[in-house]
Amino acid sequence: MLLYPAIRDLLDKVPSRYQLVNLVAARARKLSNEAELEGKPLEEKAVSLAIKEVEAGILKVEEEPEEIEEPEMFEEPEDPVE
């Protein structure tokens, strides 16, 4: 059995396997929930639909801006307590 699209092709669009799995799983859950609420059956499995969205470039990883936190510097008290 061949897997289409190939994982390596999907990894060109998503930085890591971990992110790919999370992205597809979250989208598949959303598709399933929407179909259930509307009372309409899905033509294909939700995971297959989500994978096709990744392949087509419709579904992408949301980039979070990297915030670099500077370490807090400990300030010594001006007058030591005795």
pLDDT tens per residue, range 14-66: 999 999 999 999 999 999 999 999 999 999 999 999 999 999 999 988 876 56
What letter would DSSP give residue 81? -
Instruction: Please state the pTM of the whole predicted model.
Output: 0.71
Q: Which residue is it, tokens 């092709």?
A: 9
Report the pLDDT value the prediction gives residue 66, as an integer from 0 to 100: 62
Alpha-carbon span 22 to 1, nearest angstrom: 24
Alpha-carbon span 17 to 10, nearest angstrom: 9
Q: Where are the domains of the chain?
A: 7-56
Q: Minimal CA–CA distance to 6: which of 58, 55, 60?
A: 55
